[in-house]
Amino acid sequence: MDIILLQDVDKVGDKHTIATVKDGYGRNYLIPQRLAIIANDTNRRRLNELKRIEDAKEAKKLSFYQEIADKIGSQVLKIGAKAGTSGKIFGSVTNVQLAMALNEQFGVEVDRRKIIISDEVKELGTYKAVLSLHKEVQPEISFEVVAE
């Protein structure tokens, strides 16, 4: 079954793309949850209009995203974690913790799904992550994991 995605769906595709999924998954989950619509001829013609409207909305938000990137700049985010004597932390640091720390330390609300951590954080130290705010605005942030 061919569908047009209305939102980003993990392991299926990005917003406003045409994807092929199994009939049951599309009919019983994606379409009722309003994550997708059937990719018939009418909806395929509407796809360009949907993309144009979405691009106009994103263009308005571009200055806001640039403002967030400037606010974060080259500052270092501090994340507290419980650690053993060898410097290894219990568990790992996730994008959820980064989103909460961004909100607490800089007053910036970023959706956790837009934070991409390149490697697994399991020890104390300094790491980097990318904020995927917009196609054109993807600032890299540094964060330091310190022992609590």
Residues 58-108: pLDDT tens digits? 888 888 888 888 888 778 999 999 998 888 999 889 999 999 999 999 888
CA atoms within 13 A on the CB side of 70: 6
CATH of the domain at 88: 3.10.430.100
Q: What does the alpha-carbon distance between residue 64 and residue 92 come to, in Å, rounded to a whole number? A: 31
Q: What does the alpha-carbon distance between residue 19 and residue 25 come to, in Å, rounded to a whole number? A: 12
The boundaries of the domain holding residue 37 are: 2-64
Q: What is the share, in percent, of the chain residues with pLDDT greater than 90?
A: 48
pLDDT computed for residue 143 by the predictor: 92
Q: Measure Cα distances from 120 to 38, 108, 135, 140 in Å.
A: 38, 24, 24, 16
The last residue of one of the domains, among 44, 64, 84, is 64
Q: Which two tokens stand for residue 111?
A: 């959706």
User: Structure pTM?
Assistant: 0.69
pLDDT computed for residue 145 by the predictor: 92
Residue 6, Cα to own-chain centre: how many angstroms?
16
pLDDT computed for residue 120 by the predictor: 87
The last residue of one of the domains, among 27, 48, 64, is 64
Q: Measure Cα distances from 11 to 21, 59, 132 in Å.
A: 11, 27, 18
| Judgement on whether residues 78 and 139 belong to the same structural domain of the protein | yes
| Judgement on whether residues 57 and 72 belong to the same structural domain of the protein | no
Q: What does the alpha-carbon distance between residue 116 and residue 96 come to, in Å, rounded to a whole number? A: 11
Q: What is the share, in percent, of the chain residues with pLDDT greater than 70?
A: 100
Q: What does the alpha-carbon distance between residue 111 and residue 109 come to, in Å, rounded to a whole number? A: 7
Q: Residue 11 in 3-state DSSP?
A: coil
Residues 106-144: pLDDT tens digits? 888 888 888 999 888 899 999 999 998 887 888 999 999
Per the CB < 8 A criterion, the answer to whether 139 and 130 are in contact is yes
51 contact partners, CB below 8 Å, separation of at least 6: 16
